[in-house]
């Protein structure tokens, strides 16, 4: 197997660390192999399922609107006359 050396940005390092944590991958080289393999499979139409579990709870990081236009979901769809 050949060796590839690459320079990465701080953003890439951060995303790679997140990928390793979510997937429970021990080494950077293994994480990069998996990411590249899945990216190639996805680009040629042989990708598997997409996992969204890492996004669970993401919306809770943001503040709630203090003055919402609608009190609940029903008000959103009910027409007021």
pLDDT digits (tens, 9 = 90+) for 6-27: 999 999 999 999 999 999 999 9
* Residue 31 located in a structural domain: yes
E runs forming strands in 1-81: none
* Residue 2 located in a structural domain: no
Total tally of structural domains belonging to the chain:
1
Q: Return the structure tokens found at 51.
A: 């996992």
Averaged pLDDT for residues 28-47:
87
Answer yes or no: is pLDDT of 48 > 70: no
Per-residue pLDDT tens for 50-81?
A: 678 878 888 888 888 888 888 888 888 887 65
Range of the domain at 73: 10-77
* Residue 4 located in a structural domain: no
Cβ atoms of residues 31 and 23 within 8 Å = yes
pTM value is: 0.53
pLDDT value at residue 4: 87
* Residue 42 located in a structural domain: yes
* Residue 60 located in a structural domain: yes
* Residue 3 located in a structural domain: no
* Residue 55 located in a structural domain: yes
Cβ atoms of residues 76 and 70 within 8 Å = yes
Task: Provide the b/e sequence for 24-63 (b: ≥16 CB within 10 Å).
Answer: ebeeeeebbeebeeeeeeeeeeeeeeeeeeeeeeeeeeee
């Amino acid at each position: 197997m050949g060796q590839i050396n690459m320079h990465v940005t701080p953003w890439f390092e951060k995303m790679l660390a997140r990928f390793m944590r979510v997937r429970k991958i021990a080494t950077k080289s293994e994480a990069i192999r998996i990411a590249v393999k899945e990216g190639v499979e996805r680009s040629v139409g042989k990708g598997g399922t997409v996992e969204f579990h890492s996004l669970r709870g993401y919306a809770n990081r943001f503040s709630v609107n203090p003055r919402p236009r609608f009190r609940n979901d029903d008000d959103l769809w009910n027409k007021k006359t």
